[in-house]
Structures are given as structure tokens and as C-alpha cells.
Amino acid sequence: MRHFLLIAICLFLPPAVSADVQVLEGWVTGIADGDTLYVLDTGRNSHKIRLLGIDAPEHQQAFGERSKQSLSQMTYHQTVSVDWESRDIYGRILGRVRIVSALCRQHDCPRNFDVNLEQVRLGLAWWNKKYADSQFPGDAGTYENAERQARENRAGLWAEAHPLPPWRWRYANRLEHDTVKP
């Protein structure tokens, strides 16, 4: 119960954002997979967003489609805020995506529900500890705890005996554009 309360509190705390962080506000127009989506900003520019700190199963992997569906249910055709500082080698914005919590009943609710964290909490993505140092302050520990809790609860992909991390799956399948080694 204590773990649940901690996760619930973390989900609704305002995110910590430093002075260097940019915030992109926009409308989600598409979902590529469980950790990548498209956002149209107010200037009608499209941005490909890679969810920072997580790695979701690939389409061909177990839970790949379920992870994509989860991200779609949370964000598709929703207004989001994306906190970000950098891009990856493919030009995608690496960001933390925030939406209005489904629990908020006011008309002017803040966008402080962390979608990246929710994917991990549901067992539909791994916390990618290899990139923990690129996450926002406090996020790595929160995501690590969420993954540990998902594993203990056998949520989502953790219901399988030995789920294969996507970075290992990509390397084993040798996608030419993948430079991440296990």
C-alpha cells in the first residue's frame, strides 16, 4: 500500500523543470509505437517525440501492440506538454510527455500526469537505466521504482517468465539503423 501511495503522489506532483528545459505544447496526431508519438504544435509544425527514459517492446515483440494501444489511449488527440532538452541521433525530441490526469474534474487542470512513467507502471515499457543520467532530476529513481513494482505485480510484459528487452531484441534482429548494443 505504501508503494502505491508513493507512486500516486509522484504521478500528480508538478514536474521538476530546469531553466534549460524547453516545453513543447501541442496536439498528438499519431502514435508510432509504445514510446514514440507525433505532436503538432500551435504553429502547425509536426514533431516526432521519443519518450525519455523508457523503451517499449517493438511491434513484433510480445506486448508491442498492447504498449502502442496504451500510449494511444492516453494521448491520441489530446493536448500534451513535452519537457525536453535534446534530440536523439534520429532527430527525434527526447521528452517527458505530460497530460491532464483523468482524475481531474476541473476545466483548467494542469498537465502533470507523466505518460512515460505510466507506461512503465503498467508494465508496457522498461525503464531504460542506460540513459538514467539524461532523465530529469528525480525521474530515474521514480521510474526505477515503478518498474520494480510492475515486476512484483507481474503487470503487463512482466507476466512473462523472461521478457526480452527491446534493445536486445533489436540487436538480435540486427536492424540496420539500430546502434544500441545490449
- Structure confidence by residue, pLDDT tens digits, 91-105: 999 999 999 988 888
Residue of 58, 96, 118, 147 with catalytic role: 58
The pLDDT, as a whole number, for residue 13 is 44
- Whole-angstrom CA distances from 111 to 80, 91, 125, 129, 176 are 7, 25, 21, 25, 37
What's the CATH fold of domain 2-173? OB fold (Dihydrolipoamide Acetyltransferase, E2P) (2.40.50)
pLDDT tens string 11-55: 444 444 455 889 999 999 999 999 999 999 999 999 999 999 999
For 47, the grid coordinates are: 514533431
The pTM assigned to this predicted structure is 0.84
**Mean pLDDT for all residues in the chain:** 88
Residue of 66, 87, 92, 151 with catalytic role: 92
Is 50 among the catalytic positions? yes
* Distance between CA atoms of residues 41 and 111, nearest Å: 16
State mean pLDDT over 59-85: 96
Radius of gyration of the chain (CA): 16
Residue of 50, 96, 98, 121 with catalytic role: 50
For 15, the grid coordinates are: 514536474
* Distance between CA atoms of residues 153 and 122, nearest Å: 10
